[in-house]
Each structure stands twice: as structure tokens, then as C-alpha cells.
């Protein structure tokens, strides 16, 4: 499925389904009855000018719903505060440190009411978007104390990454998180994880953990993945589920009048 299709679908779905708190279907039916059409046309317009907007919006959704109170350890670098959608490195965060296991990630998700399936599904958002070489280089040249590369990277992909991100090269150089279909929202990302071709260490670790490996297998497989339809369906469900985390109601929180600065 193209990134635009899944993004518009998610926007409408999130606004149309009841979740925790006081959110409910038809909330804007009186105050803004055409809100879904307005959002659809606006997103479509921006996406047609810059397809990378899809990854940026997914990232903002994650940070708004999941991160909010978790502090710097969950922050994603290269964010923006100038009122524009950030096209930063990851849609979801990498592990807070290279020593954290998938179990730690699962604990963080569990604390928010999400499970292991939600974790793998939401990380699948890395099927679109980019990161910077500076967040990959340590896997290529300095993963161990002796300077070896990350052994979970397949030899052929390691060579590709080292060519793309030379040891003394520009750390700000962008690299697609899904090397083979970076503009399509599909299950190729999970095939990359299965084959040792994940760009981020945190993504590759999904294959090394027993709890998450089977989920990756199912998404990557033709039969159990149902030709990709399973991921499309379950990703939208996970996004809606995440949108219900700690919903702020009444006078809680703040809606910025100008996106680039807090209200005064």
C-alpha cells in the first residue's frame, strides 16, 4: 500500500473510532462537520509535493501519544520546532542505549498498555522514512571494543552500508530505513529484519528475541502475512490503540496557537 493511502486511512480511522478518555466518534460533527475531508485534502496536497511528509506525520503521532512524558531517553534526534512537520531520522525511537534488550522495549510498551505485537507492528512504520549515518556508523565500525561491526548485519548489507556511510564520511547523510521500497508502506521492512538487512540495531533486535521473532516471521511470510494485508490491518489498529494513551481532556495539556512556540 502506498504511504499516502495508509496515512489518510489512519487519520480518518483515528478520528472516527472511540478510544480511551472522552474521545468519541462524531466529536466534531457540529463544530467542524467537514473535518475529515479537510484533513484528507490537506494531507494529500502536502504529500503530493513531498512524500516524506508521511514519515514525519507518523513520527509526530508517536511522539504525541507515546513519548509525551517519558523524557529525553525516548527523544528522537533532529526534531524541529519551526512549525513544520519534522522529517527526522526515525518514526519510532531506537533503544535508549545499545545495551538494552527487546525486553526493555516491551516493558516500556507494556507500561503504556501496549503489548509485544503492538511493538513489532508500530516499528513497522520504518518501512518509510530515513535516518542519518551518524546513528548507524557505530554498527559498522565500532560495535565492539575491538572495532568490529555488528555481527547481526548480513555481509552483503554490511558492505552496502559501509559504502553509503564511510567511516570518515558525513554523519548527516541520509539513508532510507527500508532500502528496497522506501516510498511504499509494505512488509518489505520485516523481510529486511528477517534477512539481517535492518538499518537500525533496534529494528534488527526484533529478530533476535523469541517473543518478537515470530511476529516478524508472520508479517514477512507470504502465507501468514496474507500478502501484506495483515500488516496493513494490524498497523491501523495499533495506531488507534496508541492514540488512546493518556488522553488529555478538559483543561489538561495545551493546544499551541503557533506551532513553533508555546503559548504565553
Reported as a single tens digit per residue, the pLDDT across 102-132 is: 888 888 888 888 999 999 999 999 998 888 9
pLDDT at site 229: 85
pLDDT at site 73: 31
More confident call, 204 vs 222: 204
Please provide residue 211's backbone torsions phi and psi, each rounded to the nearest 5 degrees: -65, -35
Matching residue, cell 494485508: 229
Mean pLDDT over residues 140-166, rounded? Answer: 93
pLDDT at site 263: 79
Residue 149 has pLDDT above 90, yes or no: yes
CATH class of 3-243: mainly alpha
Instruction: Return the DSSP state at 67.
Output: I
Residue 128 near residue 184, CB atoms below 8 Å: yes
Among 9-18, 54-63, 178-187, name the one with the lowest average pLDDT: 9-18
Q: Encode pLDDT of 15-52 as tens digits.
A: 444 444 456 767 778 888 888 888 888 888 988 888 77
| Calpha distance 242→239 (Å, rounded) | 5
More confident call, 129 vs 197: 197
- In the structure, what pLDDT confidence band is assigned to residue 244 with cuts at 50, 70 and 90? confident
Among 92-101, 127-136, 176-185, 197-206, name the one with the lowest average pLDDT: 92-101
Mean pLDDT over residues 174-191, rounded? Answer: 89
- Asked if residue 186 belongs to a known ligand binding site, the reply is yes
Task: Take residue 67 and report the three cell numbers written for it.
Answer: 513519548
Residue 126 near residue 178, CB atoms below 8 Å: yes
Task: Take residue 65 and report the three cell numbers written for it.
Answer: 501519544
pLDDT at site 129: 85
Among 62-66, 82-86, 156-160, 206-210, name the one with the lowest average pLDDT: 82-86
- Asked if residue 96 belongs to a known ligand binding site, the reply is yes
* Nearest alpha carbon to residue 167 among 136, 192, 125: 136
pLDDT at site 5: 53
Please provide residue 130's backbone torsions phi and psi, each rounded to the nearest 5 degrees: -135, 165
pLDDT at site 93: 41
- Catalytic annotation, residues: 63
Q: What is the rounded average pLDDT for all residues in the chain?
A: 77
pLDDT at site 11: 53
Q: Quick check: helix, strand or coil at residue 109? A: helix
**Domain residues of the chain, as ranges?**
3-243
More confident call, 248 vs 90: 248
Specify the pTM. 0.76
Q: Encode pLDDT of 49-108 as tens digits.
A: 887 788 888 887 777 777 654 433 333 333 333 333 333 333 344 433 644 678 888 888
Amino acid at each position: 500500500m502506498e504511504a499516502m493511502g495508509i496515512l489518510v486511512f489512519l487519520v480518518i480511522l483515528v478520528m472516527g473510532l472511540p478510544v480511551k478518555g472522552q474521545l468519541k466518534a462524531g466529536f466534531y460533527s457540529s463544530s467542524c462537520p467537514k473535518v475529515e475531508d479537510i484533513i484528507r485534502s490537506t494531507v494529500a496536497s502536502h504529500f503530493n509535493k513531498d512524500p516524506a511528509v508521511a514519515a514525519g506525520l507518523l513520527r509526530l503521532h508517536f511522539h504525541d501519544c507515546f513519548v509525551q512524558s517519558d523524557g529525553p531517553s525516548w527523544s528522537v534526534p533532529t526534531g524541529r520546532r519551526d512549525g513544520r512537520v519534522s522529517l527526522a531520522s526515525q518514526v519510532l525511537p531506537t533503544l535508549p542505549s545499545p545495551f538494552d534488550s527487546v525486553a526493555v522495549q516491551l516493558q516500556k510498551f507494556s507500561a503504556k498498555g501496549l503489548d509485544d505485537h503492538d511493538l513489532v507492528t508500530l516499528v513497522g512504520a520504518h518501512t518509510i522514512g530515513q535516518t542519518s549515518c551518524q546513528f548507524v556508523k557505530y554498527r559498522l565500525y565500532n560495535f565492539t571494543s575491538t572495532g568490529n561491526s555488528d555481527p547481526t548485519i548480513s555481509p552483503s548489507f554490511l558492505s552496502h552500508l559501509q559504502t553509503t556511510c564511510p567511516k570518515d564520511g558525513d554523519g548527516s547523510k541520509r539513508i532510507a530505513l527500508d532500502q528496497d521500497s522506501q516510498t511504499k508502506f509494505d512488509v518489505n521492512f520485516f523481510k529486511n529484519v528477517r534477512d539481517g538487512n535492518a538499518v537500525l540495531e533496534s529494528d534488527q533486535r526484533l529478530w533476535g528475541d523469541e517473543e518478537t521473532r515470530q511476529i516478524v516471521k508472520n508479517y514477512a511470510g507470504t502465507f501468514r502475512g496474507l500478502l501484506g494485508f495483515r500488516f496493513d490491518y494490524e498497523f491501523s489498529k495499533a495506531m488507534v490503540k496508541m492514540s488512546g494513551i493518556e488522553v488529555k481532556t478538559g483543561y489538561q495539556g495545551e493546544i499551541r496557537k503557533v506551532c513553533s512556540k508555546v503559548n504565553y
